[in-house]
């Protein structure tokens, strides 16, 4: 039952009967009545005024009278200027809850075979360093967006592009070759991605030392960079790799293998996955072929030094390098090749790139280049641009080793969650295995919720200590609310109490119960809006608002001790539905909800 839609249709009928005019449903807006005003739903009357040719207050009153006379759901109304506040009869809300109970996976749209296919790219790590806090936000946004698209009825393919080639990879390889002494993940006891990340930092340290010596010898910074033997060695290694040198490629495969094992462990722990992983080492050649095709067609230009460029000034942009003078590829080349291969592999209707807002220009360029190369999908690419995540102490820098490692972050969150849970007695009467699993859910729930509740477009500061709190706008609070409801339902079961299959129409429910039913009924529209706007934050904050509203209800009213059987049944049914919707919403964020806390 969609009460808002019911009111819209009846309002259209009122306009037709009262003013002899037609008004499209899209022109009528029904919203939740603002706090401080009587009513449950508010019809915005201003679009009707031009048809009634009366002032807003009189128009609202006339529409209100018509609705009260012709719509059984309307109990009473209040005209406030250009707004019509409508009170819906209690039995309508009871029927609404009954309808919600009858729907499996309420709020979600079943995926059909002919539904649009949405491909979502996220993660995009480099194999020269482990995943860090920035990757955490990227992975959580991408995974949640995929879940939202599925819940909105779309078919979804989750993809990852691993940046496993390029000068940055060669820096780690060269540092390991020069100073590694044969160290491996097994010999060091370190995860492979952590080990390689250390050599990336080491290269930067040695490079800066070399530049410092050259500058002390009288060279300018630019001259020192041009004469750096270490950087030239890294460039030579990249040329050898692209030429297929057996020794270089062998070292690359070995070190990347270590990193992939480390990535997989982090992804599994973070709870994200992919349907298809692409590798830059496999896609850049396809991109280079496309660039050469564009060059032959006169779409791009080769300069005197041999480099290939695209002139985008007619599109209001700049000139863009596509191939370096030595023939090696740049990021945009790889992205051209990856896009082509993806559309060869899948009949994609919508391609969404989950990439930080520092790459806004890059994706403008990519879209134009693909379109220029004749790919029909070029203009339809979507860049889901999100803000950066920082720590209270400032921005992270990979080359300087000042990033927050994803694994270390999850370890810290787990430690904080365990300490706080033990202190508050949340783990009492649990076996060690149950306690460990509950702590894991609390820790990751706190991390994921803290990041996902923020509007993706905004920069954010992540503070681990603020994220785990069993009060306030946190994942832990929402999880605890759900566990509290499950506890009430278990107690009811133990007492032989269970909500009736059919709720009594004359149950004397009050405004608190109605507010909760109305909040639950809004869940499908929240999913639709979040998917359309690519904003998991809408679902996160909806889950918090629902949990907060239920907690207030729980504080004010008895459930198991309610003497009226019909009202007790209604509250049990309502509690069950609220818990199910909270769990469903949290699952869309990739968050597990414990049954006990």
CA 517, CA 419: separation in Å to the nearest integer?
Answer: 36
Q: What is the pLDDT of residue 1?
A: 66
Measured on CA atoms in the order 376, 377, 380, 386, is the torsion positive or negative?
negative
Instruction: Say if CB 31 and CB 18 are below 8 A apart.
Output: no
CA contacts within 13 A on the Cβ side of 64? 26
Ordered strands of the 276-279 beta sheet: 276-279, 155-162, 117-121, 350-356, 382-386
* Other Cβ atoms closer than 10 A to 184: 15
Q: What is the pLDDT of residue 571?
A: 97
SS3 string, 32-84, reads ECCCCCCCCEEEECHHHHHHHCCCHHHHHHHHHHHHHHHCCCEEEEEEECCEE
Longest dimension (CA), the chain: 93
Q: What is the pLDDT of residue 397?
A: 47
Q: Is 189 left (phi over 0), alpha (psi -120 to 50) or beta?
A: left
* Other Cβ atoms closer than 10 A to 297: 11
Q: What is the pLDDT of residue 400?
A: 47
Please name each of the domains of the chain with its CATH number: 3-88 (3.30.1360.70), 122-390 (3.40.50.620), 406-588 (1.10.730.10)
Length of the chain: 597
Q: What is the pLDDT of residue 262?
A: 97
Instruction: Say if CB 406 and CB 132 are below 8 A apart.
Output: yes
Q: Name every residue whose Cβ is closer than 8 Å to that of residue 83 and which is 6 or more positions away in sequence.
A: 42, 43, 44, 45, 60
CA 12, CA 242: separation in Å to the nearest integer?
Answer: 67
Q: Is 162 exposed, middle or buried (0-12, 13-18, 19+ CB in 10 A)?
A: buried
Q: What is the pLDDT of residue 159?
A: 98
Q: What is the pLDDT of residue 428?
A: 86
pLDDT averaged over 10-residue windows placed end to end, the chain, 597 residues: 91 97 94 94 96 95 96 96 96 96 95 96 94 95 98 98 93 97 97 96 96 95 96 94 94 97 97 97 93 97 96 95 88 94 95 96 96 92 92 54 81 91 87 94 96 95 82 94 96 88 94 97 97 97 98 95 94 97 98 93
Q: What is the pLDDT of residue 463?
A: 81
CA 94, CA 102: separation in Å to the nearest integer?
Answer: 13
Structure-block tokens of residue 259: 């990193």
> Model pTM?
0.92
Structure-block tokens of residue 219: 């060279």
Structure-block tokens of residue 473: 């706008």
């Amino acid at each position: 039952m969609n009460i808002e839609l019911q009111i819209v249709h009846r309002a259209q009928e009122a306009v037709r009967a009262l003013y002899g005019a037609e008004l499209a449903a899209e022109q009528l807006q029904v919203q939740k009545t603002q706090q401080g005003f009587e009513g449950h739903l508010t019809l915005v009357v201003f679009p009707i005024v031009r048809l009634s040719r009366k002032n807003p207050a009189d128009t609202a009153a006339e529409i209100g009278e018509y609705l009260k006379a012709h719509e059984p759901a309307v109990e009473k109304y209040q005209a406030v200027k250009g707004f019509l506040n409508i009170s819906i009869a209690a039995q309508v809300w009871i029927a609404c809850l009954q309808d919600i109970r009858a729907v499996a996976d309420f709020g979600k749209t079943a995926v059909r075979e002919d539904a649009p296919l949405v491909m979502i790219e996220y993660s995009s790590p480099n194999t020269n360093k482990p995943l860090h806090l920035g990757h955490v936000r990227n992975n959580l946004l991408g995974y949640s967006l995929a879940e939202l698209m599925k819940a909105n009825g779309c078919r979804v393919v989750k993809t990852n592009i691993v940046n496993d080639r390029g000068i940055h990879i060669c820096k780690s390889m060269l540092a390991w070759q020069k100073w590694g002494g044969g160290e491996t993940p097994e010999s060091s006891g370190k995860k492979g991605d952590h080990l390689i990340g250390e050599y990336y930092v080491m290269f930067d340290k040695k490079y800066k030392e070399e530049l410092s010596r050259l500058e002390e010898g009288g060279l300018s910074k630019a001259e020192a960079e041009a004469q750096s033997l270490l950087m030239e060695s890294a460039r030579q290694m990249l040329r050898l790799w692209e030429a297929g040198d057996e020794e270089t490629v062998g070292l690359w495969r070995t070190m990347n293998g270590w990193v992939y094992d480390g990535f997989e462990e982090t992804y599994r722990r973070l709870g994200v996955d992919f349907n298809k992983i692409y590798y830059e080492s496999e896609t850049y050649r396809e991109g280079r072929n496309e660039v050469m095709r564009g060059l032959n067609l006169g779409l791009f230009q080769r300069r005197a030094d041999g480099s290939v460029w695209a002139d985008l000034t007619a599109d209001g942009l700049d000139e863009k390098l596509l191939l370096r003078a030595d023939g090696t590829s740049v990021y945009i080349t790889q992205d051209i090749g990856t896009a082509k291969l993806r559309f060869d592999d899948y009949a994609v209707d919508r391609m969404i790139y989950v990439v930080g807002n520092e790459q806004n220009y890059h994706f403008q360029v990519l879209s134009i280049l693909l379109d220029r190369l004749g790919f029909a999908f070029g203009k339809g690419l979507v860049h889901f641009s999100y803000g950066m995540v920082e720590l209270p102490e400032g921005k992270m820098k990979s080359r300087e080793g000042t990033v927050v490692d994803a694994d270390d972050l999850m370890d810290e969150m787990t430690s904080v969650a365990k300490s706080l849970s033990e202190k508050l007695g949340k783990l009492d009467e649990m076996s060690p295995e149950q306690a460990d699993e509950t702590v894991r859910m609390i820790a990751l729930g706190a991390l994921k919720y803290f990041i996902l509740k923020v509007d993706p477009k905004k920069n954010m500061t992540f503070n681990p200590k603020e994220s785990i709190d069993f009060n306030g706008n946190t994942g832990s609070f929402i999880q605890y609310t759900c566990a509290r409801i499950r506890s009430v339902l278990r107690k009811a079961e133990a007492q032989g109490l269970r909500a009736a299959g059919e709720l009594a129409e004359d149950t004397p429910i009050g405004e608190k119960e109605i507010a909760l039913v109305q909040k639950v009924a809004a869940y499908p529209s929240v999913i639709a809006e979040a998917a359309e706007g690519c904003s998991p934050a809408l679902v996160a904050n909806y889950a918090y608002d629902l949990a907060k509203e239920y907690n207030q209800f729980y504080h004010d009213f008895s459930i198991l001790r309610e003497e009226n059987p019909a009202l007790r049944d209604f509250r049990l049914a309502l509690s069950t539905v609220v818990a199910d919707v909270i769990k469903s919403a949290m699952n869309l964020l990739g968050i597990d909800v414990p049954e006990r806390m």
